[in-house]
A and B are shown apart, each in its own frame.
Chain A
Amino acid sequence: MADQALKRYKPFTKAEMAALVASDIPEGWHVNLGIGLPTLVADHLPKDREIILHSENGILGMGPVSSRGNADPWIVNAGKQNVSLVPGASLFHHADSFAMIRGGHIDLCILGAFEIADNGDLANWTTSSDDRTPAVGGAMDLAAGAKNVWVMTAHVTKDGAPKLVGECQYPLTAKAAVTRIYSDLAVIDITERGFVVRTMVAGMSPQQLQDITGAPLHFPR
């Protein structure tokens, strides 16, 4: 890792990452936001586009997380927070909800990640060093079923190790699933060539980004 003093770049904040993702979602898409960082994307969706949020526990047309005063206790999102519904929302059972996912009707899901390989392999549900109870939830269904799978993640682990790698070491969630990564340092497409950098934070050099990435980066001219 480069010495902090030598860095001339500042990572994207979580809000900046969420805004970047939101600005790339086209009008009319049906989108599932994973728990954690991806949830923030809901706050940044462009007001002039109709984008319909899906929650795997049976909601299309999910609105913002409720404030305490007007929460409906009968409506929760996948993270078990009370949420609102937008006009035009619909409710359904779990088998229908995952038919939407597995059946290729959901245009996009945005997930967090432990590791992403440059062939699109995703590891985001359990780590071998993690002695907590293994819990997968809907991650494998979403990664295998959504038409587009984007990941939001810090570029490196808390210890500075690359999360973008040549091969995932942690147990896989899905093979060849991820098509785009929004890290706190760059936006990277996964193509047949591997990682292709679309954009980076200001002040960062390609070599600096490569130094903290575990697989070759390609920079389109």
Chain B
Amino acid sequence: MIDKQVSDLESALAGIKDGASVMVGGFGAVGQPNALIEGLGDLGVRNLTVIANNAGFEAEIGLGKLIGKGVVGKIICSFPRGSSSFDRRYQNGEIELEVVPQGTLAERIRAAGAGIAAFYTPTAVGTKLAEGKETRLIAGKTHVLEYALSADVALIQAWHSDRWGNLTYRGSGRNFNPIMAMAARLTIAQVGTILPLGAIDPDDVITPGIFVDRVLCVPDGDPPLAGTAETANG
């Protein structure tokens, strides 16, 4: 019987070693697997390479807290701004940064999961993020060569799962999670609810279980409210 459910953080994260590359899903607080990130920080592993859109926001939770612990040696992301724990370590030269345009980051991850070694994209042509990279004129337009980006581990968050690892998502919580699930050699999903096999309508499955190795149920409720009309400063 196939059963990808694990009962605790320890078994969810078993086998992650020093120096591992770890993809972390989420955009803002939505779709960010905070319980798994917290558990990763408690493992005692060091010198991790983290691949995520941001470098965390709050210093006390999620990626910001993980970076604050000093266990991340490098981060590959599109938008590291807004993270005090990252800023401090970056300015002290304690963490390496690779900034990648957001769409190029997504496509490099997707390509890795889809068995595409590299691709040509018009994004970043003529900018310093394309410096030193191979370019090619295709159909009259210059493109830059970008390589697929895989990882040892993906930590993702989804909404519903079953024991086969089929996943659904909620709201804008999908973001990087489905493509990271495809791109890592070990994909660990934190989900709000695990349903009996067959309870998820096949029409509703976004990530088929083939891309998922372990599922941990963390009924941790809603993400914290972000800015609203009353708090917007725009």
Contacts and interface: CB of A to CB of B under 8 A. Distances in A.
Interface of A: 36-37, 39-40, 55-59, 64-68, 71-76, 79-82, 91-95, 97-99, 101-102, 132-141, 144-145, 171-175
Given A40-B234, A68-B228, A95-B107, A58 B123 contact: no
A171 B29 CA distance: 30
B92 to A, nearest CB: 13
Nearest to B114: A95
Contacts of B177: 93
B32 to A, nearest CB: 11
A66 B229 contact: yes
B170 A74 contact: yes
Contacts of A99: 107
B122 interface: yes
B211 interface: no
Contacts, number: 179
A213 to B, nearest CB: 23
16 contacts: A57-B27, A67-B228, A73-B225, A74-B223, A75-B172, A80-B29, A81-B232, A93-B174, A93-B179, A94-B175, A94-B179, A95-B106, A133-B81, A133-B87, A134-B97, A145-B122
Contact of B225 (A71, A91, A172, A175): A71
A133 B27 contact: no
Nearest to A77: B172
Interface string B173-202: 111111100000000000000000000000
Contacts of B99: 134-136
B47 interface: no
